[in-house]
Amino acid sequence: MLDRYSIEVIRWPLKQAAKLPDKLGVTANQITLIGFVLGLFALPAIATEHYWLGLLFIALNRIFDGLDGALARRQGITDAGGFLDITLDFLFYSMIPFAFALANPEQNAVAATFLVFSFMGTGSSFLAFAVMASKRNIENPVYQSKSLYYIGGLTEGTETIACFVLFCLFPQYFAEIAWAFGAMCWITTTTRIWAGFQTLKGESVD
């Protein structure tokens, strides 16, 4: 829901930041991998209840995730890069609830499982539509710089990261936040399935 606005806010600083790695010969895919590795450190940090440290690694992961896109737009967007980026993003997203489940299994495990279940809904509806949209050459009028057709919803990347920040700031309320956000994710899944089906139903393969 908020991605179209957050993208506008961060586009210019990321564009400027991408100039240095581009001059140094660093590729967008290398930035993607570095960001993912940094994000992995959030797992042991959160699992051992060092939530502020976990938040730091979450922030670094998201900064590098934005930077790889800005760098890719300078060097040329590729299908391989888009595939790598989205795959590692979804792995990272599912890792954070798992980390909180490890931190407090008795209190957090069921809520974390529900949230990962919810992410399966948002992720599968997102990716399945992207495949079909690409097959039918359906252009995205809003996110034209994305390598995949970016179908929106109530819970997008911006809302997900905000949720992760809340987890780290208020870990004692992880379960309540996870249940609430998971429910919002299912609203997103439902609307994506409906919108995607209606869109594809009216399209024919060229």
Task: Give CA–CA dist 131/150, Å, rounded.
Answer: 11
Confidence class for position 141, pLDDT limits 50, 70, 90: very low
Question: Which residue is listed with tokens 């100039």?
Answer: 19
The whole-number pLDDT of residue 145 equals 47
Distances (CA, A) of 101 to 47, 54, 184: 8, 14, 20
Q: Is residue 153 part of a domain?
A: yes
Q: What is the pLDDT of residues 143-198, one digit of tens each?
A: 444 544 556 678 888 999 999 999 999 999 999 999 999 999 999 999 989 988 88
Name the residue type at position 142: V
Q: Is residue 206 part of a domain?
A: no
The whole-number pLDDT of residue 140 equals 58
Name the residue type at position 140: N
Residue burial 184-197, b: 16+ Cβ < 10 Å; e: rest = bbbebbeebeeebe
SS3 content of the chain, % helix, strand, coil (to 5): 80, 0, 20
- Report the CATH number at residue 124: 1.20.120.1760
The whole-number pLDDT of residue 197 equals 86
Q: Could you tell me if 96 and 42 are in contact, meaning their C-beta atoms sit under 8 angstroms apart? A: yes
Q: Residue 2 burial by CB count (10 A; 0-12/13-18/19+): exposed, middle or buried?
A: middle
Task: Give CA–CA dist 91/18, Å, rounded.
Answer: 24
Output DSSP code: residue 49: T
Structure tokens given for 183: 């429910």
Name the residue type at position 129: F
Q: What is the pTM of this model?
A: 0.87
Range of the domain at 28: 3-201
Q: What is the pLDDT of residues 111-140, one digit of tens each?
A: 999 999 999 999 998 888 888 877 777 765
Q: Is residue 82 part of a domain?
A: yes
Please indicate whether residue 65 is annotated as part of the active site: no
Least Cα distance to 32 among 76, 64, 75, 70 occurs for: 64
The whole-number pLDDT of residue 11 equals 83
Number of structural domains found in the chain: 1
Percent pLDDT > 90 in the chain is 66
